[in-house]
Structure formats: structure tokens, C-alpha cells
Amino acid sequence: MSREGVIDAAIGLVDADGLAGLTMRKLGVALGVDAMAVYRFFSGKAELLDAIVEGEAERMWAVPSTDITDVAEYMVFTAHHYRRILLEHPNLAPLVTSRPLPTEGWAEALVTGIAFMRALGIAEEHLALSGTTIVRFVLGSVLREAGETRYRAELGEDLPHFEQRMIEQAAAFGRPDSPEAALLRNRLDPEVPAMEFDLGVRSLIHGMIALYGRDDAAPPS
């Protein structure tokens, strides 16, 4: 039994039963120990949740190396990395978005984020708002994506029934190639969420450049 083992077991419980399924008693059962043994490593559930966020933040900030040099494209690349990490444990997404900033590396992350916004040519007075807008879009998009399947299950709606409803509604438009029918079929395509995410991030970045870019700013590169 170790601190890392406790964290791994806690994430396993959240993966299986959501955040509500994580209790110190259930954690003790999962570890095969008395619940009080967990308190050797964490003073309570709040400290354990903070440790989980620390670990997820560390994984998110470990952006893979790439030869991308264009600033906007690198930000899109980074956003996709964040999405992949968060969706590995989708039930943790609400935790990561709601807890305080991690104690390790938070200042460096903020400075780096603002530096990217400057490199895009965003005017100083709009740097903070532009940065938080991108962060909220990334986290909000992941929360929606992570929650859709879970919410349908909680409402008692099974996937085959959902798929059949989408197919029937798409057929009501007659032409299978109509934008309306395609919009409904997109909800059944597992590749579409990543495409939607990509379009959203790119639209935000280039929209902010158009709205808030400095008059003397060179194109990002």
C-alpha cells in the first residue's frame, strides 16, 4: 500500500462509479484494508481529490514533442492533447475543472499560456479574457463529451434505442445527404467529436486574432 496505490485505486472507483462512488470506506474495500489505513496518506477526501488533480494536471502539461512551429497550430495540437488526457478518465473531468489550481507548476502553466496568446498577436488588454475563453471551451467541450453517455445511462436510455431514434429522425428529412440529416447522423459517428473539437478550437483562436489582434502584430508563426 502506497500513496500512488491509493490514488490509482481512487481513480478506479471514479472510473467505475463516478465521483459520488468515491468514499474512504469504498476505497478501503478496494485496497483490501480498513478505511482508516487510507488516512496514513491523506487527511481526508479533499486532500485525496487534490492529489488526483495534481496527477492529472501533470499528465496534461506533459505535452508530447512535435515539430509544429506555427503558434496557432501548436495551440490546437495542445488542446487535442488535453482532450485525450481528460477523456482517458471521463468521470474525473468535473473534478479537474472544479478544483483549485494544482500546487505544482501552476504559475509556469499560466505564464506559458499568456505567452502563447501574445505570440498570436492578441492585444495586452485582451490576453486574460482570451486565455480563459480557450480554457473554458476545452474543459466545457470535454465535460459535454464525457457526460453525454453517462447522462443517457442515468436516464435509463440505452444506446441502441438512442441510435434508432437518430436514424429515424434523419430519415424524416428524405435526402440522406441533406445537412439536417447529416447533423443527426454525426451524433452516431465516434470520429465527429474530435472534428467538432478541432473546429471549435480553431474558430476560437482565429476569431480572437481577428477581434483582439494588435494592429502591429505579425501573423503567428
**Which residues of the chain are in CATH 1.10.357.10 domains?**
56-212
Q: How many CB atoms lie within 10 A of CB 78?
A: 22
The predicted pLDDT at position 4 comes to 94
> Is the domain 56-212 a CATH 3.40.309.10 member?
no
Q: Which residue has the cell 462512488?
A: 21
Could you tell me the sign of the dihedral formed by the alpha carbons of 96, 97, 101, 104, in that order?
positive
Please determine, for residue 219, whether its predicted confidence score (pLDDT) is greater than 60. Answer: no
For the chain, helix (H) and strand (E) counts, in that order, are 10, 0
pLDDT tens, residue by residue, 13-63: 998 888 888 999 999 999 999 989 999 999 999 899 999 999 998 899 899
The pLDDT score that the predictor gives to residue 8 is 95
Confidence of residue 149 (pLDDT cuts 50, 70, 90): low
- Least confident residue range of 120-124, 185-189, 210-214, 217-221: 217-221
What is the predicted pLDDT for the residue at 145? 86
Domain with CATH 1.10.10.60 in the chain: 1-42
Q: How much is the CA Rg of the chain, to the nearest whole Å?
A: 21
**Tens of pLDDT, residues 169-197:** 888 887 878 898 888 888 888 899 999 99
Cα distance between residue 216 and residue 150, in whole Å: 48
For residue 108, what pLDDT is reported?
Answer: 87
Give, to the nearest 10 degrees, the angle between helix 45-61 and helix 71-88: 140
| Confidence category of residue 156, pLDDT binned at 50, 70, 90 | low
Name which CATH class applies to 1-42: mainly alpha
pLDDT reading at 110 higher than 60: yes
Residue 17 pLDDT: 86
CA distance 55 to 171: 46
Residues in the chain: 221
Supply the pLDDT for residue 134: 93
Least confident among 5-9, 10-14, 121-125, 170-174: 170-174
Q: Mean pLDDT score of the chain, rounded to an integer?
A: 87
> How confident is the model at residue 39, as a pLDDT?
92
pLDDT at 203 over 70: yes
